[in-house]
A = this chain, B = another copy of it.
Amino acid sequence: MSKFQSFRSLEFNSDALRNAQNRQNQLTKPAGSLGRLEDIAIQLCGLQGGTRALSRPAAAIICAADHPVTQHGVSAYPAAVTPAMVLNILSGGAASTVLARTSGLPLMVLDVGVDGLPKVSSTDAAAYRHHPVGGGGDILVEDAMSVAVFAEAVDAGARAVDSFDDLRVLVVGELGIGNTTVASAVATAILGIEPERLTGPGTGVQGSALDRKIRVVRDAVQRVGTVAPEEALRRLGGRDLAAMAGAMARGAELGAAVIVDGFIASVAALALLKTNPQLRSAFFFGTQSEEPGHTAVLKALDAVPLLGLGFRLGEGTGALAAVPLFDMAVAIHNEMATFEGAAVPEKS
């Protein structure tokens, strides 16, 4: 049984969607003139089924794991950065913590396999949730996850979502040195295009290190051959990607708007939505990443990101940066006057 297909379809309310569209057309502005803020509000109403849109409660989940493929020198930073960055998030100094604080939403680090951490616990800056799922494999020579580890990682993501009540907006991001490499491998296997087009600098590899990264991706994909999208994620991805897919699926199932971060999170969404396309209406894509493969992944998802700020960080930042758009969209939808209510003359 496919893990990704085990999530229920979300119940999208087309009446609420139509009513929201009608309301937008009555607000004191030319119809459609607030572009994507209108789209966001209408989509939220379809997800929530109400006449007013909500962007809160919102929460961010950052799924973190190690990647044994880093031993092949595919990353600009050493693997020890992953536990160090978990601690940095928890102490409030990471970009994701700062952005979550600025937008006033809780942030959780979901650790599904980070080595080298001391005993850590939640802080005021971020919650820490440790959900051990079993070891990860080096995708060059073995599967990233066994069937059992994969299932456990997906469940870890879903259960993390359940720890929040009544979520309306869910930000999903990742942390894990080496995970652009595995994301490129998953995308290459799913999209069937050349690994060169889907493999980029990540946190900053270039030259011969980038060539090595591309070779690792190509060889890993050849090892696996042609597989279904979910199997591509299980065999070529990583525990952080599986947990992200689980969190996204559970968020969508519950009718939360899922804001997907950059390249790596989008690859997790790709594997999920190619397997369970009924969840698609819940998905938003925060920002166009500078990682060159993001464009092809977004195209395959028929997705246009909300922002284009030149990010290439991950850690949920591209999705967190989009949260204010949801707050603004909701305020516009709920609080603006109508032409009739404000006695503003309509179009001549």
Contact = CB atoms under 8 A, between A and B. Distances in A.
Interface of A: 27-37, 75-78, 80-81, 84-85, 87-88, 91-95, 98-99, 101-103, 203-204, 290, 306-313, 315, 317, 321, 324-325, 327-328, 331-332, 335-337, 341-348
25 contacts: A32-B312, A33-B203, A33-B290, A33-B311, A34-B311, A35-B310, A35-B311, A75-B348, A76-B347, A76-B348, A77-B346, A77-B347, A81-B344, A87-B342, A88-B344, A91-B337, A93-B335, A93-B336, A99-B331, A102-B328, A103-B328, A204-B347, A306-B309, A321-B325, A324-B328
A102 B330 CA distance: 10
A146 B78 CA distance: 67
A204 B36 contact: no
A348 B313 contact: no
Nearest to A94: B28
Given A30-B312, A98-B335, 16 more contacts: A29-B95, A30-B204, A33-B203, A75-B348, A81-B344, A84-B343, A84-B344, A84-B345, A88-B337, A95-B332, A95-B336, A101-B335, A102-B327, A102-B331, A103-B328, A308-B308
A165 to B, nearest CB: 24
Nearest to A73: B348
A30 B203 contact: yes
Contacts of A81: 344-345
Q: How many copies altogether?
A: 2
A332 B99 contact: yes
Contacts of A347: 76-77, 203-204
B93 A34 contact: no
A93 B337 contact: yes
Given A94-B336, A307-B307, A348-B77, A342 B84 contact: yes
